[in-house]
Amino acid sequence: MLDMRNHSKLPNIGTTIFTIMSQLANTHNAINLSQGFPNYNSDQKLTDLVNKAMNSGYNQYAPMAGNLDLRLAISNKYQRLYNNTYHPENEITVTSGATQGIYCIISAFIRPNDEVIIFKPAYDCYEPAVEVNGGGAIPIQLSAPNYKVDWNEVASKITSKTKMILINSPHNPSGTIWSKEDMLQLQKLTDNTDIIVLSDEVYEHIVFDGAQHQSACLFDGLKQRSFITASFGKTFHNTGWKIGYTCGPEALMEEFRKVHQFNVFSVHHPSQKGIADYMQDEKTYLGLNTFFQQKRDLFLSLIKDSKFKIKPSKGTYFQVLDYSDITDEYDVDFAKRLTTEFGIASIPLSVFNENNKDDKVLRFCFAKTDETLVKAAEILNKI
């Protein structure tokens, strides 16, 4: 037998916390507020448009960069939202979900011994993609409950080896958002450098309380060095379709596509065509802020008298709850106990932190039916 310790490029990677908690939820028939996917269907109109595309012959390979109608729809969306767009021919590529886009960006540019600054808690696909390409992740640990960036610390971590800075706003798992000042600080720090910015903006349409999403494309100095990754799964409630896209300046996108073409080449063609037709009505994505804020507000109103400390989510469809007044258990242990004893599953944030820093907080997904949120709140109020 081969000793895989001598062969594995990711020897420390095990089963993800999402799989662990969902399996536990299934075993104990618990309400699953752990993984970030809706438990309701996407718009029937969208499904019908994808079926129409299939019946109209969109069943062979899409162009490597993606269906042109979809790239045009994406370009128009950026013009509509940010007055600052990307060229559909050479600055937009459709991907098999945002995760594939992120992986290909990192693979296209990170060489052995390059450094990538990552803000923690960080979504779990970032660091392994850096490591498998021989790079080193340089963590910037953010602290609950505000998860604010110390830009002096960031400046101190930038070295001649720094090849990339990976950012995520609205932020999963904390539910916070970056301000305009944050983006200006990032722009200032990367000005006159060769540092690439990877901006994970999959929750761009889910920002609350009248705030504006601060996309990297809004800042000229950032746009010229940045990739943006996005997800139709998050936007249109169909995460299982695994359709996303990446935007970036032509010189960067050219390198991205060199990897993309040998990774997946292209993604599901009828879904691309259906989404392109669906996006002709801009209300399909412009109404998400209101839709999810209503769910956030319902969830928080239902648990306002619980023993959890609440700082309302600023974006995403996740709510972080502080349980320090309930128990001093390690968050992973408490999350498992909530699932097995109380019947509700969540995600502990320590698994996304440097050295498993435990802030006594759990992440709950509120992209669920109102009925599910009511049942979940009844459980949380008893804890």
C-alpha dihedral over 167, 168, 169, 172, to 10 degrees? -150
Model confidence band, residue 142 (pLDDT cutoffs 50, 70, 90): very high
List of E strands, 82-222: 92-95, 115-120, 136-141, 162-168, 196-200
Q: What mean pLDDT do residues 339-351 have?
A: 97
Give the CA distances from residue 117 to residues 141, 281, 286, in Å, rounded to whole numbers and listed in that order. Answer: 11, 38, 32
| Sheet containing strand 318-322, strands side by side | 309-310, 318-322, 361-365, 347-348
Please determine, for residue 188, whether its predicted confidence score (pLDDT) is greater than 90. yes
Whether omega for the bond prior to residue 145 falls within 30 degrees of 0, making it cis, is yes
Which of the pair, 15 or 353, is modelled with greater confidence?
Answer: 353
Is-contact 136 110, C-beta < 8 A? no
Residues in the chain: 383
- Identify how many contiguous H helices and E strands the chain contains and give both numbers: 15, 13
How far from the centroid of its chain's Cα atoms is residue 323's Cα? Answer: 24
User: What is the rounded CA–CA span in Å between residue 72 and residue 98?
Assistant: 18
Model confidence band, residue 153 (pLDDT cutoffs 50, 70, 90): very high
Task: Enter the pTM of the model.
Answer: 0.96
User: What is the rounded CA–CA span in Å between residue 177 and residue 210?
Assistant: 12
- Tens-digit pLDDT profile for residues 46-68: 999 999 999 999 999 999 999 99
Residue 226: count other Cβ atoms within 10 Å of its Cβ.
Answer: 26
Residue 60, classified by CB atoms within 10 Å of its CB into exposed (0-12), middle (13-18) or buried (19+), is: exposed
Question: What mean pLDDT is reported for the chain?
Answer: 96
Burial 90-126 (b: 16+ CB within 10 A, else e): bbbbbbbbbbbbbbbbbbbbbeeebbbbbbbbbbbbb
Q: Which domains does the chain have, with CATH numbers?
A: 4-42+286-380 (3.90.1150.10), 44-284 (3.40.640.10)
Nearest CA to 177 out of 297, 335, 311 is that of 311
Q: Sign of the C-alpha dihedral, residues 111, 258, 231, 264? A: negative
pLDDT score for 2: 65
How far from the centroid of its chain's Cα atoms is residue 20's Cα? Answer: 19
* DSSP sequence for 106-125: HHHH--TT-EEEEEES--TT
- Tens-digit pLDDT profile for residues 191-244: 999 999 999 999 999 999 999 999 999 999 999 999 999 999 999 999 999 999
User: What is the rounded CA–CA span in Å between residue 260 and residue 101?
Assistant: 8
Whose tokens are 């509700």? That residue is 344
Please determine, for residue 284, whether its predicted confidence score (pLDDT) is greater than 80. yes
pLDDT score for 14: 82
pLDDT score for 4: 64
Nearest CA to 229 out of 206, 198, 253, 254 is that of 198
Question: What whole-number percentage of the chain has pLDDT above 90?
Answer: 95
| Sheet containing strand 244-247, strands side by side | 92-95, 244-247, 226-231, 196-200, 162-168, 115-120, 136-141
pLDDT score for 11: 87
Please determine, for residue 151, whether its predicted confidence score (pLDDT) is greater than 80. yes
pLDDT score for 15: 87
pLDDT score for 1: 67
